[in-house]
Amino acid sequence: MTQYDFSGQTAIVTGGTRGIGAAISEAFLAAGATVVATYAGNQAAAEAFAARQAAHAGRLHLRAFDVGDYAAAEEFFRWFDTIAPRLEILVNNAGIRRDSVVGMMACADWEAVLRTNLTGSFAMSKFAVMRMVSNRYGRIIHITSPSGKFGFEGQANYAASKAGQVALMRSLSKEVARRKITVNCVSPGFIDTEFIGALPPEQLKAYQESIPVRRLGQPAEVAHGVLFLASREAAYVNGAVLEITGGL
Ligand code: NDP
């Protein structure tokens, strides 16, 4: 998959130690970037990821904090400034779901999903953009979801957060385009990670049958699209949603 050269560039990948985020971090490392992979608190998964990437240990940093906590995000960037001279790439991948129909949804589940998926993307983008503007270069990519476009049952909180990421992306992409910063989204379909592994088997089967290519996607297939959007060659792709869904 490594056809891009990100040598000398630094990428922050939130939720970058598991699932889709781990595949994105891995792809950037293989393409020569320095990667800061953040996570919420699953230390064992982070250590296992680092062990798999031992060949790139000099270019991999791990950092645990809650992306939905604005002050923690600010503190993270203060630390970031001590380890990297510039920031070229931010991938807002960290995400959670707390599914329930609206009538039964706990307010705490609504708020937790919006806070992590949307407020987290805002806070990380805000602090990233402040650094990219002075460098007059940057790539910001949010990992959204078809749920935000179609609105799947039982996912009102998740769908709202994912549609919100697209709206955030569209405004921000206009604000910073003149500074040679692009902002885009990748919308993966049903990807084979722990995130959907917890779904009831009959629901998973129904999802699979609804995918024209009749299979789940692989995290590496999503990573490939992210690297394209993060490349210098993608300078004219701005304010777009790249769907990697098997034709969903
Ligand atoms: P996983 O559950 O496998 O991984 C989620 C990652 O996000 C973990 O690294 C986790 O950290 C981190 N994370 C969760 N909450 C926070 C938080 N508050 N602060 C910081 N980090 C956090 O998810 P996937 O890889 O499947 O999904 C990644 C993204 O892709 C999500 O945004 C999801 O919405 C989106 N997506 C996924 C699809 C799929 O089919 N899998 C389809 C469409 C979109 P830790 O390891 O510490 O728990």
pLDDT digits (tens, 9 = 90+) for 139-197: 999 999 999 999 999 999 999 999 999 999 999 999 999 999 999 999 999 999 987 87
What CATH code is carried by the domain that includes residue 227? 3.40.50.720
Q: Is the CB of 197 under 6 A from ligand 1?
A: no
Q: How far is it, in rounded angstroms, from Cα 72 to Cα 95?
A: 16
Is residue 93 in contact with ligand 1, taking CB distance under 6 Å? yes
Is 172 close to ligand 1, i.e. is its CB under 6 Å away? no
pLDDT at 115: 98
Residue 5 domain-assigned (yes or no): no
Does residue 1 lie within any of the structural domains? no
Query: Is 37 part of a structural domain of the chain?
Result: yes
pLDDT digits (tens, 9 = 90+) for 29-38: 999 999 999 9
Cα angle 225-140-86, degrees, rounded to a multiple of 5: 120
Question: Domain span at residue 101?
Answer: 10-237
pTM of the model: 0.97
Tell me if 96 is assigned to some domain: yes
Q: Please give the tally of structural domains in the chain.
A: 1
Strands 138-143 and 181-188: parallel
pLDDT tens digits along 47-64: 999 999 999 999 999 999
Of the residues 14, 18, 144, which should be mutated to test ligand 1's pocket, given the most ligand atoms within 8 Å of the CB? 18
Q: Which tokens is 183 given?
A: 């902002």
Residue 124 pLDDT exceeds 80: yes
User: Measured between alpha carbons, how far is 223 from 243 in angstroms, rounded to an integer?
Assistant: 12
Asked whether residue 247 is domain-assigned, the answer is: no
27 domain-assigned? yes
Residue 245 lies in a domain: no
Calculate the average pLDDT of the chain.
96
Q: What is the pLDDT of residue 159?
A: 98
Kindly give the distance from the C-alpha atom of residue 132 to the centroid of ligand 1, in angstroms, as a whole number: 25
Residue 4 in any domain: the answer is: no
pLDDT value of residue 197: 76
Residue 9 has pLDDT above 90, yes or no: yes
Return phi, psi of residue 4, to 5°: -100, 155
Using pLDDT thresholds of 50, 70 and 90, give the confidence band for residue 1.
low
Torsion of Cα atoms, 136 then 38 then 111 then 196, to 10°: 110
- Indicate the pLDDT class of residue 201, thresholds 50, 70 and 90: confident
The overall longest dimension of the chain from CA atoms, in Å, is 51
